[in-house]
Structure 1
Amino acid sequence: MGASFYEQVGGRPFFEKLVTEFYRGVAGDPVLKPMYPEEDLGPAAARLTGFLEQYWGGPGTYSEQRGHPRLRQRHQPFKVNPDARDRWLLHMRAAVDSAELPELQRTVLWDYLERAAHAMLNTFDD
């Protein structure tokens, strides 16, 4: 069996860098930043890193610490409208582009992130 996507992209260091870049954008975003309960984005970054590395074939630490991901349920308290989704995708796109992955891995990762972002929509209200 071939290497997992997690191994192909370089394991935890890759996902830590991706998430750090993503939250650099979120920190300055007037719509997204207020959705994060902690003043410091560090806990959110740790959760996203753990989730992504588990999803892509890395250690199962996320589920050990937090249980089933239940992404839609965890995002329900927040107003995830098309503007919030598009802003999330904008910051994640910048993070993915900064990672300089080979085309195949970039496409696979981006396709997943785009589908996930669309699945989190829970309102069309402003």
Structure 2
Amino acid sequence: MEVLQTTTLYDAIGGEATVRRLVQRFYVIMDTAPEAAACRAVHPPDLAGSEAKLYDYFTGWLGGPPLYTSKHGHPMLRRRHFAARIGQEEIEGWIFCFDRALEEAVPHPRLRELIREPILKLAHHMHNAEG
């Protein structure tokens, strides 16, 4: 009998170290890239809390330990983001940051694709403002 082995995206990309690198680069890019100005503007001046929450969320979302849910409960991402104005410009800035950070943190193109496609859907799901 053949045994199928499965792995999570979390393990496939390198686990904690890669997720941490991805999230850190994401916020460095957001804090410095003009293309992300609208996205940066809806975040607090100090990005440390946002970075910690995104790290926790991505860790669980990628199949690692459920850090976010154990600390904060169900993500309810859209509801949690209602306080921020998220229009097309903010979404495009977020995607700009994510794409660059993902490219740097995850060298394998197929793994990046497996991560990017659902993240794009999630980013667009956060849309809550016109103009």
- Partner residue in 2 for 1:18: 22
1:78-116 deviation per Cα after TM superposition (whole angstroms, max 9, x unaligned) = 111001100110111110111242121010011121111
- Partner residue in 1 for 2:31: 27
CA distance in 2, matches of 1:59, 1:14: 14
1:52-99 deviation per Cα after TM superposition (whole angstroms, max 9, x unaligned) = 110111111210110000000011111110011001101111101112
- Partner residue in 2 for 1:5: 9
Task: Tell me the C-alpha RMSD between the 2 structures.
Answer: 1.2
What are structure 2's unaligned runs of at least 5 residues? none
What are structure 1's unaligned runs of at least 5 residues? none
CA distance in 1, matches of 2:102, 2:37: 21
Task: Provide the TM-score with structure 1 as the length reference.
Answer: 0.92
- Partner residue in 2 for 1:47: 53
Are residues 1:123 and 2:129 paired? yes
Q: How do 1:58-77 and structure 2 match up within 5 A?
A: 58-77=64-83
Q: Alignment length, in residue pairs?
A: 124
CA distance in 1, matches of 2:110, 2:127: 27
CA distance in 1, matches of 2:116, 2:108: 12
CA distance in 1, matches of 2:129, 2:12: 36
Q: How far did residue 33 of structure 1 move?
A: 2.2
Q: How far did residue 2 of structure 1 move?
A: 1.1
% identical aligned pairs: 25
